[in-house]
A and B are shown apart, each in its own frame.
Chain A
């Protein structure tokens, strides 16, 4: 079974709709991240969380919000989706005790906003 799972895997929505992307992990890691990937831009950090009570904005947080419901769950919401939020979204986890560079990614959610 996958250690980091994301739902849904694909989603098509319309401008103005609220949408939630969910991430769950069984790795027992405290740190979780949300990224988006766009062609030619690479992965960019949206939000990150060090534990349930600690949530921080990344470099492109405008238009997004997050919720850390438990150590294992980290959700990303688009309050009012717009077409330029069409992208591939990845959740990731890490454990600082095992090195500072390895993050474990979920399989991604492909989001299309029409």
Chain B
């Protein structure tokens, strides 16, 4: 089983749609969780952290379910500029910042 699993997609949605991605992780001792965004052929960049109580950043909402070991990202009112690959990232917190990356979910937003 992969340490961090994501549906690779692509998710094809029209502008204005709401779309959600899920991610599961295998290490129950994982301490912190993140979503990174990666544009085609570019470097990954932190989109948002994921907190136990859930958190929002504008059109983006992240949720964590520790019992089921999954993380979700909801994007509302999708924009063309949201087209990218979204990486689910888990920190095992083994005394340093060892980030384990999922393979990513690709989102394509069309006009």
Contacts and interface: CB of A to CB of B under 8 A. Distances in A.
Q: How large is the interface on B (under 10, 10 to 19, 20 to 34, 35 or more residues)?
A: 20 to 34
Given A42-B87, A48-B96, A102 B104 contact: no
Nearest to B98: A45
A29 to B, nearest CB: 11
A1 to B, nearest CB: 15
Interface residues on A, range: 20 to 34
Interface string A63-82: 00000000000000000000
A89 to B, nearest CB: 11
A42 B89 CA distance: 10
B66 to A, nearest CB: 16
Interface in A63-114: 88, 90, 94, 96, 99-103, 105-108
Interface of B: 4, 8, 31-34, 41-46, 49, 87, 89, 91, 93, 96-99, 101-104
